[in-house]
Chain A
Amino acid sequence: MTFDREYFNIGYLDSLSYKNSFVHALDPRVKILVSFAFILFVVSLPKYELSALTPFFIYPVFLLTAGGIPFNAIAKKVLFISPFAVFIGIFNPLLDTAVVMQVFSWSVSGGWISFFSIIVKFILTVSTALLLIAVTSFPGICESLERLRLPKIFVIQLLFLYRYLFVLLQESLTMIRAREARSFGKKGREIKTFIRLISVLLIRSVERAERIYQAMVSRGFRGEIRVMKKHKLGYYDILFAAISITMFYFFRNYDVVNFIGSGLSRAFR
């Protein structure tokens, strides 16, 4: 059952964010800002740059290992969205055929380099975004977005989206199971039943929304949700932000790979 699997998948990424580790404990605001800076630095590299991108892998790898996130969980999701990136760059090798490099007997065109540069940038940015969610609980992200001055109405929408996503999915799951239990593998009227399922789901959601509103009003809701501030900017948060952003700056503006390479070859000579 694909729907079942997808449902538990969504729950899985969420459950990862309730672990306890150094990166989980960091202030979500710092994680959001550092990850945003990371993405900006990565994207700002010129299109023929490939080697300068490699040191940037240190940040997602750090989040992955320090946060104890299983590699497969992230890799699968990155792979799942990768066709988009592939199609953006797929014509580069055909259009840009000027040879820029010789690797042994192969001549490598600029198109191939810019294509791989797009792929690597994609892997870096998307895995970082996924890891950010995996190491920061969604409520944490919402709280910090509000404190970073995102309009309250959006934050409330996000909070409710998160809270009732699971309830809605659960409801659809039970409905789909109920339908399957009585359809005995038959096809044919599928679309018709599907349309009815969706309409029932809509009506149920509207009714639920009404009940939720009653529950909110009976606890004093008057159009504004005031969230308690849980996170305080600590010494570690500032240290983490300072170190990461300085590192990104060096990776971006100096040829770190060349420096390490020549250093190593001098050491082994």
Chain B
Amino acid sequence: MSHHIVELKHVCFAYPDGTEALKGVTFRIVHGESVGLAGTNGAGKTTLLLNLNGHLIPTRGEIAIGEVPLSKKTRQEIRRKVGFVFQRSDDQLFMPTVYEDVAFGPINLGLNEDKVEERVRNALEMVSCLQLRNRPPHRLSEGQKRSVAIATVMAMEPDILVMDEPASNLDPRSRRQLINLLKGFGHTKIVASHDLDLILDVCERCIIIKDGKVVADGPSEELLLNKALLEENNLELPLSRQCLQAIQPF
């Protein structure tokens, strides 16, 4: 399958108040690739992701998801392909129980009851949260909420997985579980984060953005070890690499 391609051409976006968040972003992501979006707070990561799903429509430039150009008309179709995991799980989980929340997407896709049941079960098993299915979201821990939020998206079986800061507010163990989970997915993945260790672990490719522009695009191993480049963009070497360098300076 070669149609899960994400292509951005000179995408610009300005908020109604005049803030220019994206100033000509261009990249192409092919099927099965997992890409990390790195950048400081306010660099435009979240705006970029919201554009990918049609919540925001670029003021200039073009976005094509699987060769379908994004517009107001096609955004419903595109949302079926792009699964979006939001930064805050409390925003993502809006139904009264975990089960109903995971079922929300599949029901809206028009699946029948058995099929919905099967999807929900599979998705919850994937994130090992099946035992939580009758719990209300406000009684879950932050890590559990995050896993369930991922399940709600996986239940729609999207082609492309988009995540905004998936590891924020997680304890080390939940974070590690999340990383292993993400590694297990064969989807095209776009992960925005300033947790560079996570990007290094999960994504083979990394795009660094600063002030709404792409400043570097290449293999994670290369970019995230380039101390000068990272510091120029107000980032730091991933912790794991800092340790390595401390042991064996080169």
Report which A residues bind B (CB closer than 8 A).
14-15, 18, 137-139, 142, 159-160, 162-164, 166-167, 208, 211-212, 214-222, 225-228
Pick the 4 closest A-B CB pairs, nearest first: A220-B108, A139-B96, A219-B105, A166-B138
Closest B residue to A211 by beta carbon equals: B91
Q: Are B53 and A218 in contact (CB under 8 A)?
A: yes
Q: Are A220 and B91 in contact (CB under 8 A)?
A: no
The verdict on A162 contacting B96 (CB below 8 Å), with A214-B86, A215-B86 known, is yes
CB proximity to A under 8 Å, residues B12-33: none
The verdict on A216 contacting B94 (CB below 8 Å), with A167-B138, A211-B88 known, is yes
Q: Are B86 and A220 in contact (CB under 8 A)?
A: no
Q: Are A163 and B138 in contact (CB under 8 A)?
A: yes
Q: Interface size class for chain B? A: 35 or more
Q: A212-B94, A220-B109 are in contact. List 20 more A-B contacts (CB 8 A).
A: A142-B96, A159-B96, A163-B96, A163-B136, A164-B94, A208-B90, A211-B91, A214-B50, A215-B91, A215-B94, A218-B53, A218-B55, A219-B104, A219-B105, A219-B152, A222-B108, A225-B104, A226-B107, A228-B99, A228-B103
Residues of A within 8 A of B55 (CB): 214, 217-218
Chain B at the A interface: SS class: helix
Report which B residues bind A (CB closer than 8 A).
50, 53, 55, 76, 79-80, 82-84, 86, 88, 90-92, 94-97, 99-100, 103-105, 107-109, 113, 116, 134-139, 152-153, 156
Residues of B within 8 A of A212 (CB): 91, 94
Q: Are A208 and B91 in contact (CB under 8 A)?
A: yes
Pull 5 A–B residue pairs with CB atoms less than 8 Å apart, ordered by A: A18-B135, A139-B97, A212-B94, A218-B83, A220-B104
Q: How far does the alpha carbon of A221 sit from the alpha carbon of B92 in the complex, in Å?
A: 13
Closest B residue to A209 by beta carbon equals: B91
Residues of A within 8 A of B50 (CB): 214
Residues of B within 8 A of A215 (CB): 84, 86, 91-92, 94
